Amino acid sequence: MRGEKRRTGILIAVALSAAWGCGGGGGGAPVKSSTDTKVTGMLKINGKPAAGAQVAFNPANSERPSAWPPRTAQVQADGSFQLWTLPGDNTVTITGTGAAADPKVAEFKKVVNVSGSLGPVNLELP
């Protein structure tokens, strides 16, 4: 009987610890939505499609400080990309080779508010 009570107490402590680590312990406003939204767009660098570049949408923001990992998409030959990410503010970054490896491109950051009514996200970099 004594061992059973102790085991129950340990299980409760483990469950509370898990809930605390999964967002149950405060720290930041609650996530407004956990449903992914489709994002499509075009990426051009110096007026040309940025084929092979990688576009990343990071949904972590003041309302979701721990949303991870960023959602990424490979840019196609025509410059198009498509990915799914959480609605709300997303920080967009670009990585890759060729023109996408230019330091100016590596410094690019843009906040895009993703919503169900968001049209194509067209990114043009000099």
The tens digit of pLDDT for each residue in 16-67 reads: 333 333 333 333 333 355 688 999 999 999 899 999 999 999 998 877 887 7
Mean pLDDT (the chain, rounded): 76
Torsion of the alpha carbons at 52, 45, 124 and 64, rounded to the nearest 10? 40
SS3 of 71-97: EEEECCCCCEEEEEECCEEEEEEEECC
> CA angle 55-61-93, nearest 5°?
20
**For residues 97 and 110, is the Cβ–Cβ distance under 8 A?**
no
Average pLDDT, integer, range 96-125: 86
Q: Outline where the chain has alpha helix (H).
A: 2-19, 103-106
Task: Please give the pLDDT value at position 28.
Answer: 35
Q: Does domain 37-125 have CATH number 3.40.1360.10?
A: no
Query: How does DSSP classify residue 112?
Result: E
Question: Measured in whole angstroms, how far is the alpha carbon of residue 114 from the centre of its chain?
Answer: 11
Please report, for the chain, the start and end positions of each structural domain, with discontinuous segments joined by +: 1-29, 37-125
From the list 54, 52, 57, the residue with the least C-alpha distance to 37 is 57
Regarding predicted confidence, which is higher, 21 or 70?
A: 70
